[in-house]
Amino acid sequence: MRWKPIRFIPDGTKIPFMRLSRYGFVLSGLATILAVLAFLTIGLNYGIDFKGGTVMTVRTAEAANLDQMRRTLDGLGIGSVELQEFGSPNDVLIRLESQGDEIAEQAAQQKVKDALGQGVEYRSTETVGPKVSNELTQAAIIATVIALICVLAYLWFRFEWQFAVGGIASLLHDVLLSIGLFSVMGLEFNLNIIAAILTIIGYSLNDTVVVFDRIREYLRKYKSMGLVDLIDFSINSVLPRTLLTSICTLIALLALYIFGGEVIHGFAFAMIWGVIVGTYSSIFVAAPVLILTGSSRQVQGAPADAAVKSRPVPQRG
């Protein structure tokens, strides 16, 4: 008996993505505006990497009582103290705000140790000064900007400037929505999240290039087909690859988020969100920009194909 391959996405889909993109533009525009407003009004919950301070990980003999520990440490006069469970109920992450200099940081750490007593195991202590945190902030911003500029140059060189504009619009959409989500949810924004954002840029770019490459191929092949129909045709032809790749990636990220521990929760969450918005923006942001900017129908060296009288069936892959 010959087994047939499983088709999660049916052949010959004819989803009118460009007709739906008008609603996608409105949705994306409102979401981007809200994300920027959230960043400006609420701001990000910067981690120790960006605002400086001390992070201590401790292990208690029994399940930690965070409320009691918080009341104990709040009365030490060392400023803001944040506590959270770190993996198991016995592990606690303690964040102390920056004390100004190294001597004050060490004094604050000693106060914490004296207040918690002898029944606590101190597993690690990490201190980041204000100067280092400012340097990390600048480096993170520079890394993100350079990544976007390199993407712009790459798309312009490989395709046309219209494709580059669409790709950058898609990436900015993904980055701004990710920052807005972290602002609204109050999740800690640290260097792991910067790494996640740069990874999101790479993933979204890969998805966008797949769509753009098929559009460019069909621009050469079907010269008489309208641009809107051609873009719909191109997206439908790569839809199985796009969706199945995203789903497989999400499965791996969900496993990482659930079983990976507290340390990488933020990174895994940012990646999950990035895969979702990256897949969406490749279809409903990057591709429609080609219609707004008017992509060139003439490509040097393109064969002069005959007119297409009926719409072909999209090729899988």
306 pLDDT higher than 50: no
Residue 145 is assigned to a structural domain of this protein = yes
| Residue 271, token pair as written in the block | 């990646």
Burial of 11 (0-12, 13-18, 19+ CB in 10 A): exposed
Do residue 279 and residue 205 come from a single domain? yes
Whether residues 273 and 228 share a domain: the answer is: yes
Give the domain-ending residue among 128, 152, 187: 128
- Mean pLDDT, all residues of the chain: 80
- 315 sits in the region (left: phi over 0; alpha: psi -120 to 50; else beta) called beta
What is the side-by-side strand order in the sheet with 81-86? 81-86, 88-97, 53-60, 120-128
Coil/strand/helix, residue 249: helix
Residue 297: per-residue pLDDT: 52
**Per-residue pLDDT tens over the stretch 209-228:** 888 888 888 888 888 888 88
pTM score:
0.73
**Domain for residue 1, yes or no?**
no
Say whether pLDDT at 109 is over 70: yes
Residue 26, number of CB atoms within 10 A of its CB: 10
What is the DSSP code string of 15-35?
A: --HHHHHHHHHHHHHHHHHHH
Residue 96 pairs in a beta bridge with 54, 81
- Asked if residue 9 belongs to a domain, the reply is no
Tell me: do 71 and 186 sit in the same domain. no
Please tell me whether residues 116 and 183 are part of one structural domain: no
What is the tally of structural domains in the chain? Answer: 2
The pLDDT score that the predictor gives to residue 298 is: 43
If asked whether residues 102 and 141 sit together in one domain, one would say no
User: What is the predicted pLDDT for the residue at 303?
Assistant: 46
Q: What percent of the chain has pLDDT over 70?
A: 86
Q: How far apart are CA 226 and CA 255, in angstroms?
A: 43
Strands 53-60 and 88-97: antiparallel
- CB atoms closer than 10 angstroms to residue 178: 22
Which of 200, 191, 174 shows the shortest CA–CA distance to 140? 191
For residues 302, 305, 309, 314, the Cα torsion angle rounded to the nearest 10 degrees is: -60
Contact 59, 23 (CB under 8 A): no
CATH number of the CATH domain containing 203: 1.20.1640.10
Residue 151 and residue 101 share a domain: no
Residue 268 scores a pLDDT above 70: yes
Same domain, 225 and 284: yes
Note whether 93 and 139 are same-domain residues: no
Residue 10 backbone phi and psi in degrees, to 5? -65, 155
Helices (H), the chain: 17-41, 48-51, 66-74, 102-116, 130-158, 161-185, 191-221, 227-259, 265-281, 287-293
Q: Which domain holds residue 141?
A: 17-44+133-293
* In the predicted structure, residue 46 carries a pLDDT above the cut 70: yes
Please check whether residues 79 and 141 belong to one and the same domain.
Answer: no
pLDDT grade for 24, boundaries at 50, 70 and 90:
confident
Interval 104-128 mean pLDDT: 81
- The reply to whether 95 and 75 lie within a common domain is yes
- Is the pLDDT reported for residue 37 higher than 90? yes
Which of 31-35's residues contact partners 24+ apart within 8 Å by CB, and which partners? 31/177, 31/180, 32/173, 32/176, 32/177, 32/180, 34/180, 35/176, 35/177, 35/179, 35/180, 35/181, 35/183
236, pLDDT greater than 70: yes
From the CB of residue 148, how many other CB atoms can be counted at a distance below 10 Å? 17
Tell me: pLDDT of 143 over 70: yes
Domain assignment present for 308: no
Contact 69, 103 (CB under 8 A): no
Does residue 241 share a domain with residue 137? yes
238 is a domain residue: yes
Q: Is residue 34 part of a domain?
A: yes
Neighbouring CB atoms inside 10 A of 9's CB total: 13
Can you give the CATH number for the domain in which 105 is found?
A: 3.30.70.3400
Residue 93 belongs to what H/E stretch? strand 88-97
